[in-house]
Amino acid sequence: MTADATQTAKTKVTALPGDGIGPEVMQATMRILEAAGAPVEWEFAEAGARAFERGVVTGVPRETLDSIAANKLALKSPLETPIGYGGKSANVTMRKYFELYANIRPVRELPGIQTPFSGRGIDMVIVRENVEDVYAGIEHMQTTTVAQCLKLMTAPGCERIIRAAYGVALAEDRQSVTVAHKANIMKLTEGMMKRMGEKVAREYPGIKAGQVIIDNCAHQLVIRPEAYDVIVTSNMNGDIISDLAAGLVGGLGIAPSSNLGDQVAIFEAVHGSAPDIAGKDLANPTALLSAAIMLLRHIGAFGVAETVEQALYVTLAEGRNLTGDLAPRGHGVGTAAFTDQIIANLGRVSAMKSRVYKKLELAAWPKLTAHMEPTTRELVGIDVFLETDLDAEALGKTLTAIAEYSPFNLTGISNRGVTVYPPTGGQTFLVDHFAARFMLKHPISLAGSSSEGQPEISYLVQRIGAKFTWMHIEKLQRFDGKDAFERPQGEG
């Protein structure tokens, strides 16, 4: 890309200097962007440790949220959640508040940084869903010894992150998009990601579509990482494999990312705040500088972005005046000297070319409560989760008797997802948390009133509650003739 001859107006960006080494790498990044003539002006705001210490429980003051909302762009250094203050992560607060659903993590082999994978030509992007999955943080203690975490994945959430992945592929002229999932085990949640990937792929015939089970993906990233172009996956899977992929090319110290939503984009370094070296002129600003390069491309300043990126590449390739984490032991320089070297190299071109980028286009999602009503909906049963120290045989006989004169039959009991009644002959260690499955003798159509089936459920649960402590109930439904629930291991 050439310099942006038409871009003269400056774009206001909220700057979050952060904690630990954050202010140092932010200052270094700003110096380089200023020297390169980047069309950016900064509005400083606070988040992280200082906010927690003055009583802001989220770590993000209202004025900071207002600044980001107004500017729609932020560059963020690492933030801390200090022990003894607050509890929620400031990073997660911003991610949730602005619905930053797409986490984009580029992973590229950089010149001069030697790893066991050097020379393999690694150049990929991990696109991670950023707000759903187990990171919704919905957890409950079911008994004193059993904890539950709900894994929530939605069809709109899967669709928009997969569309974002194809958007990245188009913007960066990439050839393939691979959906990484665990649909072989979690057939409804992770299976939704797989199925949505297959559906959306049909709209992009020019891009090769693939899918891989997430554990095999991790394996393949170590065996042949150069085979991947864009990988899209759910939140927890993406959290793990994006760090794994960063390790292939030098680690989190050089890893940038962007967090994108319909209205706001936040760009950040992935690494932590490294308080042990804060204020010592030892920090490496490469990750935040690379995030700033992503920001420049996001606002269309492609030429300046390439100029800065090429100066970084030249600096790394020549190996002069590198910070201690990049230089041979004992030959590192400070943050300021490394920054000066990059500035001195502005205008030079590296042997490693920058990719050609176009603007990343993400379709905004409508502001409504997403809902899709099936043609038919039936209630076919319920799962009742209860607490007891009875053995499976005794519990099964008792629940069978309870259900005898109800509209339900007890069809099975599971413990930690494994059928334990009727007995299967297996060897299952029991805890005091059982799921009893009751199927209706006659399924109930839910096409009419939303109260359909409630009297039947209430009658059974009241009878169970007279003898046992129960935690929650799950309706077992059938949408358009298809079961909308999974069966425990061993259910026969």
Token pair 């204020």 in the structure block, residue? 279
Helices and strands in the chain: count of H runs, count of E runs: 13, 18
CA gap 177, 455 in Å, rounded? 49
Residues 123, 215, 243, 340: which is the catalytic one?
215
Q: Are 385 and 471 in contact (CB under 8 A)?
A: yes
Q: Are 201 and 177 in contact (CB under 8 A)?
A: yes
- Assess whether the previous peptide bond of 422 is cis (omega < 30° from 0): yes
Please confirm, yes or no, whether 215 is among the known catalytic residues. Answer: yes
Tokens of 164: 């974002």
Residues 6+ apart with CB under 8 A from 34: none
For helices 90-97 and 62-71, the axis angle rounded to 10 degrees is: 50
Residues 6+ apart with CB under 8 A from 420: 392, 413, 414, 426, 428, 430, 434
Q: Are 162 and 199 in contact (CB under 8 A)?
A: no
Q: Are 401 and 420 in contact (CB under 8 A)?
A: no
Tokens of 224: 């042949």
Please confirm, yes or no, whether 239 is among the known catalytic residues. Answer: yes
Of 372, 370, 367, 361, which Cα lies nearest the Cα of 204? 361
Please confirm, yes or no, whether 135 is among the known catalytic residues. Answer: yes
Q: Are 377 and 477 in contact (CB under 8 A)?
A: yes
User: Of all helices (H) and strands (E), which one includes residue 459?
Assistant: helix 454-465
Residues 4, 101, 182, 383: which is the catalytic one?
182
Residues 6+ apart with CB under 8 A from 201: 177, 207, 209
CA gap 338, 343 in Å, rounded? 9
Residues 19, 133, 239, 383: which is the catalytic one?
239
Q: Phi and psi at residue 413, in whole multiples of 5°?
A: -130, 135
Please confirm, yes or no, whether 66 is among the known catalytic residues. Answer: no
Residues tagged active-site: 135, 182, 215, 239
